[in-house]
Amino acid sequence: MTDPYHTRSENSNSSRKAYRECEVKWWAVNVEHTHTITPTDDMLAGSLVHCMALEPDKLDEFREAHPEIWTKGSKNVKPRLREKFAAAERTAEAMLANPMLADLLDGVREIVYTGTIAGVPWRGKLDCISVERQRIVDLKKVPSVDGEVWVPNRQLPWVVRRGEYLPVVEARGIHYQLGLYRELVEQRRIEIRELVCIAYTLQDPPAFRVYIVNNEAKLAQAMEDLTQTGIEMERLKAHGGMGLLACGSCEVCRSMGIVETEEI
What are the pLDDT digits (tens) for 175-192? 999 999 999 999 999 999
- 145 — phi, psi (to 5°)? -75, -15
**Would you say residue 224 lies in a domain?**
yes
**Would you say residue 46 lies in a domain?**
no
**Would you say residue 217 lies in a domain?**
yes
- Quote the CA–CA distance of 58 and 67 in Å, as a whole number: 15
**Would you say residue 205 lies in a domain?**
yes
| pTM, 2 dp | 0.92
Tabulate helix, strand, coil % of the chain (nearest 5): 45, 20, 35
**Would you say residue 152 lies in a domain?**
yes
- We report the CATH number of the domain holding residue 229 as 3.90.320.10
3-state secondary structure 225-242: HHHHHHHHHHHHHHCCCC
**Would you say residue 168 lies in a domain?**
yes
Domain count, the chain: 1
**Would you say residue 164 lies in a domain?**
yes
Residue 156 has pLDDT above 70, yes or no: yes
- Quote the CA–CA distance of 179 and 120 in Å, as a whole number: 16
What are the pLDDT digits (tens) for 15-57? 999 999 999 999 999 999 999 888 999 999 999 999 999 999 9
Weakest mean pLDDT among 61-70, 73-82, 128-137: 73-82
Residue 1 has pLDDT above 60, yes or no: no
Q: Where is 152: in which H helix or E strand?
A: strand 148-152
Q: Are 185 and 111 in contact (CB under 8 A)?
A: no
- Quote the CA–CA distance of 93 and 186 in Å, as a whole number: 32
CA R_g for the chain: 20
**Would you say residue 162 lies in a domain?**
yes
- Full domain range(s) for residue 203: 8-37+98-255
Q: Are 101 and 95 in contact (CB under 8 A)?
A: yes
